[in-house]
Amino acid sequence: CLRSFLSPPLPCSSLLSPQPSSREESSAAQIHFNPIQCTHDPCNHQIEANHASEPLAARQQHAGGGVDEEEEDPSIWPRGGCAAPRAVQTDGPHAGGEKPSLGGRRALDASPSIGLRIPTMESPPLKLNVGRGEDRISALPDELLLRTLERLALRDAVRAGAVSTRWRHLPHQLSLVALGIRHFRRATLAETMDAFAAALLSVCPPAERHCECQRSYAIKDLRLCFYPSAPHLSSIGRTVEDVLSCGRTESLEFLISLLPGEYTPSQLAEFGQQLMSFSRAYQDAFRCLTRLSLKGLAFGDSDLNDLIRACDKLKCLTLRSCRLVHRHSVLKIDTPFSGLQELEFIHFVCRRIELISVPKLSKVDCHWSLKNPPVRFGYVPELCEVSLTRQPKVWKAPFLLSKCLSRSATNLSKLHLNFYHQMIWIQPEQPNQLAVIFSNLTDVGLFCIFPECDLSWTLFILEAAPALQKLHLSRARPCAKVSEEGAEKTNVVWGPSNGFKHFNLKWLEIQGLEEEGKVTNYIRLVMERAVGLKKIVLLGEPPCEDCTDCEIKSQVDEASRRRVKEELAHESSSSVEIIMR
C-alpha cells in the first residue's frame, strides 16, 4: 500500500482493496487529496566528505558539481537515443506527464482541422456500455484508461485506484514504474527507507501473493532512486528480482545516493562496500541493469571494473562526486566484453581516469578540476561524442588533445569543450597530430571562452578536421553574481597555415560579442578559409534571472550584433547568410 503517496494517510486496505458498496465508494470519492510538499530533493544535495586532513583542492573537487532535479529524477533519465516508453514521472519539474507518443497523439488529437477534407481510414466508433449511474470515462476499456494513467505521476495513478472500484486494479498494470526517494522523507534514514520499501512492494507485489490486485501486466521499465541502507537493500533486491522473473522487463535503472550530510572517507568507503555486497547478493538484478547512477560513494581500485562486469546489460554509468578510496590512484576501466555505451564522470576524485578497453563506448562526459588531462582513451573504436568541462582553481599546464584522445576513436563526430570562463586548458598543436582522430569530426563546441582571449587559436581544430560542418563558440562574460576566481587566464597564440582552405564547414555560431573588433576579425579569418560556409549565426547572450545588469547587457549585446552583421554584410560579396538570434 502506498500510504506515503496519499495525504491524508489512509489505512492500507482502503488504498488498493475493493470497496464494499457504491455508497462507500461515493464517500471515498469525496476525500480531498493534497499532494505532499517536498521541501527538498534528497538526491539534489552535494555529498561532502569531512576531509580535514586532505588538500583544499581535493575537498573542493569532491563537493563540486550540483545536480538539478531533472538529472536525479529516475522517471526522466535520458534514454540513450533509443525510443523511450511513456514516462510516468514522480519527481522533477515535469512531474505529471510528458509529450504523448505518436500513438497517444492519434488517440488524443485525431479530429481533423475544421474546413479541411482529409480522406482517412476511420475505425468504427467506440461503443461504450455506460451503465446507469456510471460516468463515460469509467466505461472506457482498460487499455485506454492505462494510457491515461501512464501520463500521470505514480502517486496520482495510485490515488485514482484508491477512490474507485473501477480503477483500483489499474495501478498494478502500469508497464512503467518510477519510484524516487524524495516522496518518502521521514525523520530518520530507517523510517524513510521503510516507507520507500513498502511502496515498492505495493506496486510490485511478490508472485506468491494471490489476490485481485495481483499484477496481470509485466513491468517493462522500472526506475528506482534510493539510499544505500544495508537493512533495506535485501528487500529492494528481492522485489526487483521478483519483477524480473516475469521475463519481460526491458529497462532497469538504479540511482543510488547518500543521505545529505558530511561523511569521513572511511564512511564513504563503507557505503561503497555495501553497494558492492548488494551487487554480489542480487546478481540477477544487477545482471539486468541498463542504467546505473551513483553519487557520493568511495570505491576500491578494482571495484568499478567488477561492477561493470557484473552488469551484463549496462548501457549507461554515471559517477557523481564519487572517488577512489586511495585518491592518488588511477582509475583503470578495462572491460573488453561489456556493452557499456555511455560514461559520465562528474568530479570523480582520483589521479587520472584511463579507459583501457571499452569497445562499445560511444559517449563520454567528464567534469574535473584537478590534474590534466583528466582521462586517457585506449581502445574505444565506437566513441562518437566527447564532452570535457573544467573549472580550474589553480593553474595547470595545458595538455594536447592528441595525448588524451585515442587513435582508435576514428568515429568521433562531436567534441564539446567547456572552459568555464577560466584558463584555456588545451594546447593548440599541429593538425597532422589529430588528423586520424578528427577525420570524421563534424560538430565542435567551444564554450565559455573568457572574452579577452584571442580566438584565432581555435582554427587549429578547423584545420585538423576536414569533415567539420558546424562550429559553435561561446565567449559571453559571466554574470556579476558568478565568481570568477580561478587559475590565471593567459592568452593563447597560434597562427593558421598559409593557404589553408576548408570545404565542408557550413555553420558558424558565435555567442558573446564583447570586443567587437576581435570577433569581427575572427569571423573574417573563418570566411576566408571556409569556402563552403553558408550561415553565420550571431547569438544573443542568455538571460540571467534576478540580475539587474542583464537587461542593459542584453541591449548592448543586440547593438553589437547589429553592427557586426552590417560590417560583415557590407564587406562580403559572398552568399553567406548572417542571422541574428
Q: What is the pLDDT of residues 506-529, one digit of tens each?
A: 999 999 888 888 899 999 999 999
Measured CA to CA in angstroms, residue 372 lies from 368, 394, 401, 427, 464 at distances of 9, 12, 11, 11, 22
pLDDT of 63 above 50 = no
> How far apart (Å, rounded) are the C-alpha atoms in residues 130 and 146?
18
pLDDT at 37 over 70: no
186 pLDDT tier (thresholds 50, 70, 90): confident
Pairing of strands 443-447, 470-474: parallel
DSSP assignment of 516-542: HHHHHHHHHHHHHHBTT--EEEEEPPP
Q: Look at residue 224 in the predicted model and tell me its pLDDT.
A: 96
Question: Does pLDDT of 42 surpass 60?
Answer: no
* Structural element, H or E, at residue 365: strand 363-368
- In the chain, where the domains are located: 396-479+497-580
Nearest to 351 by CA among 327, 387, 376: 327
Residue-wise pLDDT for 429-470, tens only, equals 999 999 999 999 999 999 999 988 999 999 999 999 999 999
pLDDT at residue 142 is higher than 60: yes
Q: Could you tell me if 513 and 486 are in contact, meaning their C-beta atoms sit under 8 angstroms apart?
A: no
Task: State the average pLDDT over residues 185-211.
Answer: 81
Mean pLDDT across 156-182: 78
Mean pLDDT of 199-205: 85
Tally Cβ neighbours within 10 Å of residue 191.
12
Please tell me which residue, 411 or 203, carries the higher pLDDT value: 411
Average pLDDT over residues 271-294: 97
Phi-psi region at 367: left, alpha or beta (left = phi > 0; alpha = psi -120 to 50): beta
What does the alpha-carbon distance between residue 226 and residue 259 come to, in Å, rounded to a whole number?
Answer: 9
Helix %, strand %, coil % of the chain (to 5): 30, 20, 50
* Contacts with 526 (C-beta within 8 Å, 6 or more apart), sequence order: 459, 462, 471, 505, 508, 533
What does each C-alpha distance from 337 to 55, 305, 311, 376, 383 come to in angstroms? 38, 11, 11, 19, 16
555: pLDDT strictly greater than 90: no
Per the model's pLDDT, the better-predicted residue between 9 and 353 turns out to be 353
Three cell numbers at 485?
576566481
Q: For 132-136, 191-195, 514-518, 539-543, which range has the lowest pLDDT when averaged over its residues?
A: 132-136
Residue 524 identity (one-letter amino acid): R
Do 341 and 362 form a contact (C-beta atoms < 8 A)?
yes
Instruction: Check residue 53 and give its pLDDT.
Output: 35
Please say if the pLDDT value at position 307 is more than 70: yes
| Chain segment 565-581, per-residue pLDDT in tens | 888 887 766 688 999 88
At residue 551, the pLDDT reads 56
581 versus 296: which is more confidently predicted? 296
> Length of the chain, please?
581
Cell triple for 474: 561561446
Lowest mean pLDDT among 65-79, 95-109, 283-297, 386-400: 95-109
Q: What mean pLDDT is predicted for residues 412-416? A: 98
Q: What per-residue confidence (pLDDT) applies to 96?
A: 37
| Identity of the highest mean pLDDT range in 385-399, 408-422, 536-550 | 408-422
- Phi, psi dihedrals of residue 331, rounded to the nearest 5°: -80, 115
Grid coordinates standing for 141?
476499456
Q: What is the dihedral of CA 198, 202, 206, 210, to 10 degrees?
A: 130
Percent of the chain with pLDDT over 70: 70
**Residue 547 scores a pLDDT above 50:** yes
pLDDT at 16 over 80: no
Evaluate if residue 49 carries a pLDDT over 50. Answer: no
Q: What is the mean pLDDT of residues 256-264?
A: 93
- The mean pLDDT of 220-233, rounded to a whole number, is 94
Given a cut of 50, whether residue 404 has pLDDT beyond it is yes
Q: Which of 41-45, 401-405, 422-426, 557-561 has the lowest mean pLDDT?
A: 41-45
Highest-confidence range of 188-197, 359-368, 491-500, by mean pLDDT? 359-368
Looking at 38-42, 349-353, 539-543, which range is the least confident one? 38-42
259 vs 230: CA distance, rounded Å: 13
Per-residue pLDDT band at 536 (split at 50, 70, 90): very high
Among the ranges 40-49, 151-160, 387-396, 507-516, which has the highest mean pLDDT value? 507-516
Beta strands at 470-474 and 342-346: parallel, antiparallel or unpaired: unpaired
pLDDT value at residue 316: 98
From 59-73, 120-134, 329-343, 363-377, the region with the lowest mean pLDDT? 59-73
**Amino acid at the residue 495:** G
Q: What's residue 112's pLDDT? A: 32
Q: What is the pLDDT of residue 29?
A: 32
What is the structure's pLDDT at 483?
53
Residue 30, C-alpha cell as written in the block: 469525496
- Of 23-32, 220-229, 427-436, least confident by mean pLDDT is 23-32
pLDDT reported for residue 367: 95
Q: Of the ranges 140-149, 248-257, 506-515, 540-549, which one carries the lowest mean pLDDT score?
A: 540-549
Of 3-7, 174-178, 417-421, the least confident: 3-7
Instruction: Give the number of C-alpha atoms closer than 13 A to the C-alpha of residue 213, restricted to the C-beta side.
Output: 23
Highest mean pLDDT among 170-184, 301-315, 391-405, 546-560: 301-315
Share the mean pLDDT of the chain: 76
Q: How confident is the model at residue 276 (pLDDT cuts 50, 70, 90)?
A: very high
Q: Which residues are bridge partners to 366 per DSSP?
A: 345, 388
Strands 251-257 vs 323-324: parallel, antiparallel or unpaired: unpaired
Handedness of CA 561, 441, 524, 425 (dihedral sign): positive
